[in-house]
Structures are given as C-alpha cells and as structure tokens.
C-alpha cells in the first residue's frame, strides 16, 4: 500500500513555483526532451509528445480532484487544450511555461502522483512551437502569455470573461522548421484520448466534439480493443494504486498494455515485469496445488491478453518521453535533518507490491469462479505440449546447422555481444543494437561492409521465406531459415531475451523485395506480435535514385523527390536508378545506415485484428483483395520510372 505523505487538499499557490534555469537550448537539442522529431506519421513522433505533455498537466489536475472535463481540439497543424482545474497561479504563468525546471511538482505538496515531475513539459511545448499561447483563469481573473519560437511577445493580466470557470487554456502550433512537413493524424489522438478515459474513470475528454468517458476502467480498454474471442471472461482486479485485467486467447505471444499514473508506458518497465512474474508465479502455485501440475512461466503467459495500471509517487521514467518505467519502489522520500544530513525512506518495491496484490486477488478469484480453472488449464497444457515439441525440433536443427557451419554464414553478429572484444559494452549501448535482415549474398555483403560492427548485425536470408500465416508453429520450427532467425534474435523462449533493440528488414525496392518484406513481417505478426507492439520491428528506407552533377550528389527516396531535385539543380544531371541494395557501393551505403538512417516503424495497434490483417494480405485470394490491388496498381509512368 502506498504511504500517504501529503495532504491532498494542500494549497497550490505561487509559493509552490520554483525557478532553476533557462530553456534556450531546448530548440537546439529537442531530442533530449521529446525523443525524435518526425512528421506525425508515427505515434511516437514529437508532435504527439508535445500534445501529451499539455494533456498530462490537465490529467494531473483531475487526479488531484479538480475538473471533470478536458476539451481538446486539433486540426493538421494546431492544437488547443482547455481544462477546468485550478489554473496555473496567475503571477507564475510566464515562468511556468518558459523557464526550465520551473513548476509546482518538485515536491509532493502540490501534486501527489503526477506524470510530469521535471518541470520540462510545457517549456518544451513552448520552445518547440512556432506559436504558443497560454491563459490561466482563477477566481474571475486571468493571466495570459504569448510566445513565438519560445520568445515572449505579449503577456498580462485581466478580468476573466463572465462565468469563465477556473482552469488553463493552451494553444500551440509545432514549429515546421523542426517538425518538417508535419501534420497531426486524428486516429493517433483519438487512441490517446481513449486510453486517458480508460485510466481515469469519471473524466470526460472531449476531442473535436466527440466525448470519451469510461465507467469500467481497464476492463473497457480490454473489451473494446479485443481482436479475438477470449477463452474466458476477463478477470478484473482493482486495488488501491493498482488495477489489472487479464484473460487468454489463442494468438501467440503476449499482449499486455501498461500504464503509470495515466501514462501509457508502451515499452513496459518494472511494473509490467512485476505483473508478468506475479501472474506466472500465482498460477504456477495454484495449479501445482489444485491439479498437481507444474507449469512453466512461458506456457502460462502464452496468449495472455491484459493490462496493468499503477499509481506511484514521483515515478522515474527512462527518457523524457516516459515510455518505460525505471522506478523500483512505490514511493521514496528524502528528509533534511536539523544537522543538515539527509534521511531516506522507501515504500514497498513495485515487484513485491504487484506480487502480493496478484497472489491474493487472483487466487481468490479462481476459488470463486471455478468455471475458469479447467479452461485455463487446458490452454496452458496445450501451450506446454507445443513448446516442448518445438524445442525438440529446434535443438535438432540447431545442432545440424552447427555441424554444417550454416549459422556462421548467415549471421554476422555485432561486437556488443562479445564481451572479450568489447569490454566497454554497457547497458546504454543496448538501445543502439540492431540487426538487418536482408536477402542474398550481394546485399548482405554490402551492408556488412558498411555497418557499424560495434552495434549492428546482419542476417542473410536465402530466397523467400515461407508464408508463416499458412503454416503451423511446428512447421516454422522445422524451417531452416526461420529457425536460424529465431536463434539469432534470441527468441527461443522469451521476448525479454531479444538480443537487439531494433530488427530492421532491408530488402530491395522491387516486387520481389516487397514480397520478402511482407513474408518477414507476417512471421513476426503471427508468432511474435509483441515485438511489433513494443516497437522493435522496422523497415529500412533506401534511396531509389542518385542524382549527380559535376559538383553535387543527391539521393532521392521517391520519384517525386527525384523530379524536384532535378528541377532545383537546373542543369545537366546524371540519374542512376538503384535496382537492388547490392548495386550500391558499400562506402556509399555507409551513409544510409548511420545515425540518420531512414526507418519506418512497423505499427500494430491494440484494436487491430492480426488474423484479419493476415487473412486479407496473406490468405487465399479474395474479391476484396483483388479490388484493393486493382485500385492501387502503378501507372505506366510509375512502372517506367521504377524500371524493375
């Protein structure tokens, strides 16, 4: 149980606002504060982080008991957020949005369990916007401030309009010099609003005229987003500072959403690890007693669908984008003693807190709802039998490949995984590790020569892999290519054993290359969908054209980009169409797989049905797919330019 260390009715005044330093460098190094920039085509792009920072402040007000509605509007370029909380203290509005490390969340007097604790959020939004406006309303008065590219252009105080409720209004336009060619995608914002509503029962989020509100919390999230029929009704467990939902389906992998203080931690963290461990441990002990069965954790978790939300004080997130929880304890406090020394006190560990909660409540639930016991046991036993069969096949294949040295020819590993060759390898390098999956000796040879051998590995496919959608898991294990790929990635047992942070599919930009790309993605989508959900799978974008003059070389990634480049150069140019990765010299290719390489993340939202997607693209030919293909055929001009 989280320890109460504050009074939730504490006053939130100008005295809560502290100032530490300025913010000029945010525009120079935006990645330090919001992660990547992007253009809005990915949910992880910076413009959505900016929106989330603003909404998080409003959510924190609701969590403190102020304001039951948040109104959000957005078009492609501009966003507004109006909450009905207490409003920023009037004399501190300018400081609160423009001076780094200025805010009301540096102690627990103003906020108990908020997401933003470092005083950066609104400052980053302001600094990275071409136009930023904020107005706070308090007791019939308002204080406003307007900024251009982070610089104050107007501010003041005035009487608020009649009957204007307390709260804060924010309007911002991301700077298109930083977020080049950006636009907000409404479906991403809608998904964000839904998650907020599931996590904050009683809160209404009105987005562009549509209200999002949940009465059943995470249970609504699971039921609304379930893409398959569950084997049993979802189990909903609610406690103080923790809420968990779980069920099982017949899909492979694990699909568990995780949240901390209302923040979607899509990369998991200590709370998700604790939930996975707690469920495995509790069910293992239950069936050991109930059915004399000793199930393995990986069999218990196979096909699990669920969600966890916890509330902790002063969470420690890894990175400003707050996608992974790093905190170990539910709460920690620091006290300054009279003699100037410091005393520290810690609450229960997140691991023990979640374990105790699950052990007590899940065990009780199963004893009451006994109809679930045989259904769940059959599912776990089936997963166990399949895993053992697959393990036997994989061991035989692995030994055979070792004897024939096939493995060493297909994987060119990175030095990160050889401590004797890279003694300085540290955990922070883990984020930089990647593996390129390519086809053919020519392409793999080019990438191998061009790569950064410290952190980049290369796996070479031989021809087209099998269509995994049509094959059983046993058949996949018997397939040499995919078996070796599974082994190279470290996926024989658990996703947490994944050896590389990024799995990058690198194929030629022709029909065969696109087909291989689809087959590789199908394999991951069917048998390892959690890799996609956690953002590990990417597509490498390589240039289609090289436009060269006597003094300049430009690389173009599309026909439109090529035409614009030729037009801008206004002179004699030499155009080369790259038909395959192997045609690009290795020294030239070095620039395409460095720190600025173009990667497109493969996305899979919780509400999307994997079975439906794979049946449409990889199943038997259907009328719907035929219509789709006919509507998306390349024009004669496009075919001429592509020149397969």
Residue 322: what pLDDT? 61
Asked if residue 201 and residue 252 are part of one domain, the reply reads no
Residue 318 confidence (pLDDT): 76
H helix or E strand, kind and range, residue 576: strand 574-577
Last residue of a domain, one of 196, 212, 228: 212
* Cα gap 457→417, rounded to integer Å: 10
Q: What is the CATH number of the domain that holds 613?
A: 3.40.50.670
- pLDDT of res. 7: 44
Q: Which of 389, 404, 644 is nearest to 509 (CA)?
A: 644
Q: Identify the CATH number of the domain in which residue 107 sits.
A: 3.30.565.10
pLDDT of residue 105: 53
| DSSP letters spanning 353-420 | HHHHHHHHHHHHHHHH-TTHHHHHHHHHHHHHHHHHHHHHHHHHHHHHHHHTTHHHHHEE--GGG-TT
**pLDDT given for residue 84 in this prediction:** 96
> Looking at the structure, do residues 67 and 91 belong to the same domain, yes or no?
yes
**Same domain flag for 124 and 238:** no
pLDDT of residue 22: 53
State the CATH number of the domain containing residue 256.
Answer: 3.30.230.10
Same domain, 315 and 186: no
pLDDT number for residue 508: 84
pLDDT of residue 535: 83
Q: Are residues 138 and 164 in the same domain?
A: yes
> What is residue 344's predicted lDDT score, i.e. its pLDDT?
80
**65-93 exposure pattern, b = at least 16 Cβ within 10 A, e = fewer:** ebbebbbbebeebebebbbbbbbbbbebb
Residues written for the chain: 644
Please check whether residues 353 and 416 belong to one and the same domain.
no
Sites in the chain below the pLDDT cut of 70? 1-10, 12, 14-23, 101-120, 319-322, 398, 400-408, 418-428, 605-611, 621-622, 625-626, 629-644
Q: Are residues 361 and 417 in the same domain?
A: no
Residue 562 maps to a domain = no
End of a domain among 150, 182, 212?
Answer: 212
**Spatial CA neighbour of 158 closest among 178, 188, 135:** 135
Considering 212, 227, 249, which residue would you say is the last residue of a domain? 212
Strand segments (E) across 149-254: 151-159, 167-174, 204-207, 210-212, 235-239, 242-248
* Whether residue 234 is found in the same domain as residue 203: no
206 and 237 assigned to the same domain: no
Tokens, residue 305: 């669908």
pLDDT given at position 622: 66
- Residue 584: domain span: 404-542+578-642
Q: Are residues 243 and 97 in the same domain?
A: no
Domain-located, residue 548: no
Residue 255 located in a structural domain: yes
Q: What is the pLDDT of residue 104?
A: 55
**Same domain, residue pair 226 and 188:** no
Domain-embedded: residue 554: no
Tell me the C-alpha distance between 342 and 335, whole Å: 6
Angle between helices 218-225 and 186-199 (to 10 degrees): 140
Strand partners, 346: 332
For residue 104, CA distances in Å to 101, 111, 403 come to 10, 8, 64
The pLDDT of residue 130 is 95
Q: Is residue 11 part of a domain?
A: no
- Structural domain contains residue 556: no
Asked if residue 14 is part of any domain, the answer here is no
* First CA to last CA distance, the chain: 64
Rounded to the nearest 5 percent, the helix, strand and coil shares of the chain are 40, 20, 40
Residue 352 shares a structural domain with residue 417: no
- DSSP one-letter code for 319: T
Each residue's pLDDT tens digit, 138-153: 999 999 999 999 999 9
Q: What is the pLDDT of residues 417-465, one digit of tens each?
A: 765 544 444 556 777 899 999 987 888 888 999 899 989 999 998 878 8
Q: Going by C-beta distance under 8 Å and a sequence separation of 6 or more, which residues neighbour residue 446?
A: 581, 582, 584, 585, 586, 589
Structural domain count of the chain = 3
Residue 490 φ then ψ, to 5°:
80, 30
Q: Is residue 339 part of a domain?
A: no
């Amino acid at each position: 149980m989280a320890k109460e260390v504050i009074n939730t009715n504490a006053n939130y005044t100008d005295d809560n606002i502290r100032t530490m330093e300025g913010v000029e460098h945010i525009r120079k190094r935006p990645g330090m504060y919001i992660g990547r920039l992007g253009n809005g085509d990915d949910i992880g792009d910076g413009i959505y982080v900016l929106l989330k920072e603003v909404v998080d402040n409003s959510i924190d007000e609701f969590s403190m008991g102020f304001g039951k509605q948040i109104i959000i509007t957005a078009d492609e370029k501009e966003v507004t957020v109006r909450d009905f909380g207490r409003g920023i203290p009037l004399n501190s509005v300018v400081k609160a949005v423009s001076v780094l490390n200025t805010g009301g969340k540096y102690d627990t007097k103003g906020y108990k369990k908020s997401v933003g604790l470092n005083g950066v959020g609104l400052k980053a939004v302001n600094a990275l916007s071409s136009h930023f406006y904020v107005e706070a309303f308090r007791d019939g008065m308002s204080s406003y401030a307007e900024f251009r590219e982070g610089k104050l252009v107007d501010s003041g105080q005035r009487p608020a309009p009649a009957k204007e409720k307390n709260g804060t209004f924010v309007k911002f336009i991301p700077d298109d010099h930083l977020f080049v060619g950006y636009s907000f995608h409404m479906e991403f914002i809608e998904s964000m609003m839904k998650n907020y509503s599931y996590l904050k029962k009683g809160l209404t989020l009105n987005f562009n005229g549509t209200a999002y509100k949940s009465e059943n919390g995470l249970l609504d999230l699971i039921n609304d987003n379930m893409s398959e029929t569950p084997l049993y009704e979802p189990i909903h467990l609610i406690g103080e500072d923790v809420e968990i939902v779980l069920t099982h389906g017949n899909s492979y992998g694990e699909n568990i959403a995780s949240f901390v203080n209302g923040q979607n931690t899509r990369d998991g963290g200590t709370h998700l690890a604790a939930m996975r461990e707690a469920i495995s441990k509790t069910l293992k002990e239950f069936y050991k007693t109930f059915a004399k069965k000793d199930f393995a954790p990986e069999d218990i978790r196979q096909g699990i669908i669920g969600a966890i939300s916890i509330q902790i004080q002063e969470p420690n997130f890894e990175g400003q984008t707050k996608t992974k929880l790093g905190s170990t304890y539910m709460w920690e406090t620091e006290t300054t003693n009279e003699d100037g020394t410091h005393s520290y006190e810690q609450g229960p560990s997140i691991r023990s807190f979640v374990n105790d909660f699950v052990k007590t409540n899940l065990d009780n639930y199963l004893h009451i709802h006994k109809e679930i016991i045989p259904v769940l046991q059959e599912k776990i036993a089936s997963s166990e039998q399949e895993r053992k069969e697959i393990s036997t096949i994989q061991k035989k294949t692995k030994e055979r490949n070792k004897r024939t040295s096939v493995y060493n020819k297909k994987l060119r590993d990175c030095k990160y995984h050889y401590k004797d060759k890279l003694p300085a390898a540290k955990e922070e390098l883990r984020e930089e590790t990647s593996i390129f999956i390519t086809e053919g000796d020519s392409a793999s040879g080019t990438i191998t020569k061009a790569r950064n051998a410290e952190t980049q590995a290369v796996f070479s496919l031989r021809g087209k892999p099998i269509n995994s959608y049509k094959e059983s898991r046993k058949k996949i294990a018997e397939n040499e290519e995919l078996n070796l790929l599974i082994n190279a990635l470290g996926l024989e047992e658990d996703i947490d054993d994944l050896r590389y942070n990024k799995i990058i599919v690198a194929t030629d930009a022709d029909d065969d290359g696109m087909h291989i790309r689809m087959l590789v993605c199908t394999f991951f989508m069917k048998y390892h969908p959690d890799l996609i959900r956690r953002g590990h799978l990417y597509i490498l974008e390589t240039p289609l054209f090289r436009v060269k003059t006597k003094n300049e070389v430009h690389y173009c990634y599309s026909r439109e980009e090529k035409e614009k480049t030729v037009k801008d150069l206004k002179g004699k140019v030499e155009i080369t169409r790259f038909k395959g990765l192997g045609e690009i010299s290795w020294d030239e290719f070095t620039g395409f797989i460095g720190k600025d390489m173009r990667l497109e993340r493969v996305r899979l939202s919780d509400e999307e049905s994997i079975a439906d997607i794979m049946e449409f693209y990889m199943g038997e030919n259907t009328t719907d797919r035929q219509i789709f293909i006919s509507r998306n055929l390349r024009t004669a001009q496009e075919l001429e330019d592509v020149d397969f």
